[in-house]
Amino acid sequence: MNSSNNNKNLEKPLVVSYLRWSTGKQKLGDSERRQLDSAEEWLNENGYEVNEDFILKDDGKSGYHSENFSDEGALGKFIAKVKEGKIPKGTILLIEDFSRFSRAQINLAQQRFLELINNDIRVYIVKDKKLYQKESYTLEDMIVSLAKMAAAHEESDRKSNHLKKFWAARRKVAGENKNIDEYPLLLPSTVPDWIKKVKKGSQTYLELIPERVEVIKYIFELADTGGKDGLGLGSSIIVRKLENEGIKPFKGERKNTAITFTDSYVVCSGTVILATH
């Protein structure tokens, strides 16, 4: 009885789950959990289990720009191993949707898809509840998969063109600004705590808060030439110095309940300033 069960387990194929999201926001939106949970029903019905050592993750990799197919992408590395014969034939690759597999141009997406199918990797698209495999890959399967990949690319292409137009318009607004002392806000966002937003007509501008800027300059001076040797102070000593002098952290747009400055606040303040110059 035990021998029969062991043989049955050995016959089960390797099941690999592929996850991809292109932005941190998607990950925080529970994209990973949704993609895994959506496959659970099919796995249970067929007695399969995802191999925990083979969960492929392309975190922050763009499907539109084929980053997930690159040498650095988890899917790209997997396909390379498949072509090298390092992945067992009959392995099942779980993918939530064709848009997760690729948003690249259809010729490239199809090429990568067929590299899997033709090397005896079975691809299960969870959203469509459809298993694609070489021995039963029909003309209808090809047409459906091509249509799905084309739709994924067209959606991303439309978004890409929309963003290009958006940024072109925002750059035009910035270019038409004749006052070199004014900084138009190009995209809704939070700003450093020593900067404030000022609405002028239909445009929002950024303005420095003088007394806070002086504190930031002071922090840079301490880091550059502070101390008896004039070689500059570390962030921890700067924090203690600010605290001893009664200088309090700023309260900007984001809620700030800090009573005193911290190492990370001092370091981040410098990083933001350097990044904006």
Q: For position 91, what pLDDT does the model report?
A: 93
pTM given for the model: 0.52
pLDDT for the residue numbered 69: 80
Domains for the chain: give ranges and CATH numbers. 2-157 (3.40.50.1390), 183-275 (no CATH)
Helices (H), 133-231: 139-175, 210-225
Q: How far apart are CA 82 and CA 121, in angstroms?
A: 8
Given this model, what pLDDT does residue 27 score? 42
Q: Which residues of 121-157 are buried (b: 16+ CB within 10 A; e: fewer)?
A: bbbbbbeeeeebbeeeeeeeeeebbbebbeebbeebe
Element of type H or E holding 183: strand 183-184
Distance of CA 189 to the CA centre of its chain: 18
Angle between helix 74-83 and helix 106-117 axes, rounded to 10 deg:
50
As averages over each run of 10 residues, the pLDDT of the chain (277 residues) reads 44 79 42 63 82 75 73 87 92 86 82 92 88 92 88 73 64 62 65 82 81 89 84 86 86 62 70 44
